[in-house]
Structure 1
Amino acid sequence: MTAARTFTKRATHQPDWPDSCELTRARQQLASAPPLTSPKDIRVLKRALAEVAAGKAYVLQGGDCAEPFGIAARRGARAKDAVLGALSKQIRHAPVVVIGRLAGQFAKPRSEPTEVIDGRTMPTFRGLAVNGPEPVAVQRIPNARRMITAYHTARAVLAELDNGMWVSHEALLLDYEEPLIRTEGSTRYLASTHLPWIGERTRDVDGAHVEFLTNIANPVACKIGPAATPEEVVALCARLDPQREPGRLTLISRLGTHDVRTLLPPLVRAVRAAGHPVVWMCDPMHANTRITSTGLKTRHLQDITGEAVAFHETLRELGQWPGGLHLELAGEDVTECVGANVPDENALVRRYTSLCDPRLNNEQASVVVESLGRLGDDLAHRGLGRG
């Protein structure tokens, strides 16, 4: 256990902590805190993901865009556990590995460091582990003590789930993640989660986030956006999966409903030619975000379903197993995305409660999963699954 920084590469999308002493104290507390996950459980998940890579299982991953703190996090975890369980029963073509986007989704990369609210310029909200969402300048100042609250919230969420669900989050905030590395023998595990991933904004093969994931034994994942080239993705695979180990690396494509059929095939062919047994998953949310005329972020269900279907059809045509679906969902009757029981953008204001990006409500999530039912049956019929 160490509170000292060990990564050597440039780290992007990190807060400019104003109090270095407070940051040091927070890192020291995290370094001495009990682990949130165990090496044994992490190894079990890696074996489960190896089954997915072999076409014998399917991943359903979902949860908050940005988690709340306190009792809202525990209540939300129960709701998401229930909806993910219900959604998993809609998937009939393979055993399902359910992974919650929970117990750590407290930091967000943002496109701009500042935003203007009511004519005032202030730091952008970066997730509750960094600053507050309230449009008040003092609340937007990064505060390292928030990382301790994030840790205790994550621990409470895992207790609420009774350690019965795999959890995952974006390993963005390195000052939170690094002190939570624990060692078993000579093997380093990230004890903040079972499955950490890095995003489209932090997947630089020469950056600190890729370096960080190379030095832990967890299964890891990486989001792949429309700007990714086959050469970049193969280079990422070489760094993150040098031993070509089934279950080690998951690639989560987020290409957009209009581009997935064009952009995905060269990436899949390049990774296959390089011999990496990755799990291919689809995030149909993030490349389909729109801004309404009133400035509200939203996503349209037809775009989300369209990308999910196109992803599965494209992988099928390439003779590859489409390994899973990654959704942002609320587990509640929110009105943040348009479609199903949210008829148009005017209905969004009824119950828009997300701390950051728009999430699917339960009915909408069910529509997305059900749209893949016929495809799943066809995959099983063609032998692309169940070994």
Structure 2
Amino acid sequence: MKSLKSNPQSDNWSLESWKTKAIRQQATYPDQAHLDKALSTLSSLPPLVTSWEVKRLKSYLAEVSRGERFLVQGGDCAESFADCNSSIISNRLKVLIQMSLVLIHGCQIPVVRVGRFAGQYAKPRSADLETRDGVSLPSFRGDIVNQNEFTEASRIPNPDKMLEAYHYSAMTMNFIRALVAGGFADIRHPEYWNIEWVKHSKSAEKFSQLVTEIKDSVQFAEVLVGTKVHNLSSVEFFSAHEALHLHYEQALTRTVPRQDGHFNLSAHFPWIGLRTNQLDSAHVEMMRGIENPIGVKIGPETDDDHLIDLCRTLNPENEAGKLTLIHRFGAKNIENNLPRLIKTAQRANLDVVWCADPMHGNTEATSNGYKTRRFENISKEVELSFKIHKENGSHLGGVHLELTGENVTECLGGARALQEADLSKAYTTQVDPRLNYEQALELAFSIKDFFHQ
């Protein structure tokens, strides 16, 4: 693919160059010596992922860009340290496994599984300070920075929280890898994936029928060829988070023996949010110099020139699989915005993966004060994404979802038709409303249908 720009590694990029740009959405640490000590410790710790895993994901995403695979990216809006336990992690894994199996069977295409986990501890904020009853304190920026309790001691940014985030991320990755290696995803044992509270769901019944069909097909194939079908007991999972906390990202960005360039080894797939995707942003500067595949959120406010400049800055070699554009418009705005950005990318010959985030553009407030999303709007935005890409000679490569395997009541609608009055029953998110397991699986079946329209 023809290069669009000189290599960032020779274009005045360094691990420190982000500090010369416009720094947004960062915590202010009151003790520089404490910060330096924490970063020094973090920089010496082993990486959370490996460079060869990063490169393998990039090769898979190159296949996604060609329509040969489909990307499913999902997980919590904001992880908390308290949620680092076996039940929550395994339930989240179950959701992604089941969704991917629905899509593999229904779309007849391999699926790339990327979890918003093992590092999704930082969140952007609209203001540096939060004021309650005349008292102003630093905003809660996620467990990697401070604590949610509205006290001065809790809200002061603490550098040691980065070390905690590293250790919780390591424990999460270790448990996920152990589950996968131990056959947790074995198609012959779907009972490993059961989630008790949704046995009544129509989607659960449909999924059970689907697994039976697949097991029968596998058994038939084994009888036909006279040997066991291998590679059914494990799947690949990759980790992702918004690369928001730049001190943390820098400390875990390394050079690797016998590999060219720098790798961000805090996650396989870091992404840049809509609030920090400006060309003068420190986040764009940091991400443009790493070898990882990266994502960038775009929305209605993304104009054509900005899209081109972003792509050429973050993917100067126009490398397949390097850059994923995660579009978040909302069901009401997607038809007025997505077509022009697709055409802009096509005119500029940009090689990108297109991924739909149907969550953030559909956020609303209810009359009883809850932040929520309507399942019908989420589903509609995904359906329109497929339709618009097809009409414009493009294709939707994946979906980016905020979801959980827990029995939460945070998004309206779905199979149980959750109403505003139901939200208070189990509204546990730290920041944004998530699809529960039942809604996520229902959406997977809808995506399968949209794929063939």
Q: What's the TM-score once normalised by structure 1's chain length?
A: 0.94
- In structure 2, what is the equivalent of residue 372 of structure 1? 447
CA-CA distance at 1:78 after TM superposition: 1.5
Superposition pairs of residues 180-195 of structure 1, within 5 angstroms: 180-184=252-256, 185-195=259-269
C-alpha contact 1:39 1:189 (8 A) present in aligned 2: yes
For structure 1, which segment, 335-344 or 46-55, has the greater mean C-alpha deviation from structure 2 after superposition?
335-344
Which letter maps to 1:61? Answer: Q
For structure 1, which segment, 280-289 or 87-96, has the greater mean C-alpha deviation from structure 2 after superposition?
87-96
CA-CA distance at 1:192 after TM superposition: 0.2
C-alpha contact 1:15 1:142 (8 A) present in aligned 2: yes
- In structure 2, what is the equivalent of residue 135 of structure 1? 150
- Among 331, 337, 352, the alignment partner of 2:427 is 352
Distance 1:112 1:225 in 2: 21
- In structure 2, what is the equivalent of residue 14 of structure 1? 26
- Among 200, 222, 233, the alignment partner of 2:307 is 233
- In structure 2, what is the equivalent of residue 83 of structure 1? 95
C-alpha change, 1:73 and 1:172, in structure 2 (3 Å) is farther
Which letter maps to 1:148? Answer: L
C-alpha contact 1:170 1:199 (8 A) present in aligned 2: yes
Unaligned runs of 5+ in 1: 379-387
C-alpha change, 1:346 and 1:14, in structure 2 (3 Å) is same
**Residue 298 of structure 1 pairs with residue 372 of structure 2:** yes
Residue deviations 1:222-273 (CA, integer Å, cap 9, x gap): 0002100111011100001111110000000001110101100110111111
- In structure 1, what is the equivalent of residue 186 of structure 2? none
CA-CA distance at 1:4 after TM superposition: 7.7
Distance 1:4 1:305 in 2: 40
- Among 267, 283, 294, the alignment partner of 2:357 is 283
C-alpha change, 1:155 and 1:66, in structure 2 (3 Å) is same
Distance 1:4 1:307 in 2: 38
C-alpha contact 1:36 1:192 (8 A) present in aligned 2: yes
- In structure 1, what is the equivalent of residue 57 of structure 2? 45
- Among 104, 113, 116, the alignment partner of 1:101 is 116
Unaligned runs of 5+ in 2: 1-13, 179-235
- Among 162, 165, 179, the alignment partner of 2:177 is 162
C-alpha change, 1:73 and 1:267, in structure 2 (3 Å) is farther
Superposition pairs of residues 189-268 of structure 1, within 5 angstroms: 189-268=263-342
Distance 2:41 2:434 in 1: 33
C-alpha contact 1:73 1:153 (8 A) present in aligned 2: no
**Residue 28 of structure 1 pairs with residue 102 of structure 2:** no
Which letter maps to 2:389? Answer: L
C-alpha contact 1:329 1:360 (8 A) present in aligned 2: yes
* Greater C-alpha radius of gyration: 2
- In structure 2, what is the equivalent of residue 384 of structure 1? none
What SS class does the counterpart of residue 251 from structure 2 fall into? helix
Distance 1:255 1:71 in 2: 30
C-alpha change, 1:325 and 1:272, in structure 2 (3 Å) is same
C-alpha contact 2:297 2:326 (8 A) present in aligned 1: yes
Which letter maps to 1:197? Answer: W
CA-CA distance at 1:83 after TM superposition: 0.5
Distance 1:71 1:319 in 2: 42
- In structure 1, what is the equivalent of residue 163 of structure 2? 148
C-alpha contact 1:125 1:131 (8 A) present in aligned 2: yes
Distance 2:393 2:82 in 1: 45
What is the Cα-based RMSD across aligned positions, in Å? 1.6
For structure 1, which segment, 101-110 or 119-128, has the greater mean C-alpha deviation from structure 2 after superposition?
119-128
Distance 2:30 2:85 in 1: 27
Distance 1:112 1:52 in 2: 37
C-alpha contact 1:67 1:73 (8 A) present in aligned 2: no
Distance 2:418 2:345 in 1: 40
- In structure 1, what is the equivalent of residue 191 of structure 2? none
C-alpha contact 1:342 1:348 (8 A) present in aligned 2: no
What SS class does the counterpart of residue 372 from structure 2 fall into? strand
C-alpha change, 1:26 and 1:74, in structure 2 (3 Å) is farther
What SS class does the counterpart of residue 271 from structure 2 fall into? strand
What SS class does the counterpart of residue 67 from structure 2 fall into? coil
What SS class does the counterpart of residue 372 from structure 1 fall into? helix
C-alpha contact 2:127 2:139 (8 A) present in aligned 1: yes
Distance 2:420 2:85 in 1: 27
Which letter maps to 2:239? Answer: V
Considering fraction of residues, name the structure with more helix.
2
The size of the alignment, in residue pairs, is 376
CA-CA distance at 1:75 after TM superposition: 3.5
Distance 2:118 2:95 in 1: 16
What SS class does the counterpart of residue 400 from structure 2 fall into? strand
Distance 1:74 1:204 in 2: 38
Which letter maps to 1:266? Answer: R
What SS class does the counterpart of residue 161 from structure 1 fall into? helix
CA-CA distance at 1:342 after TM superposition: 5.2
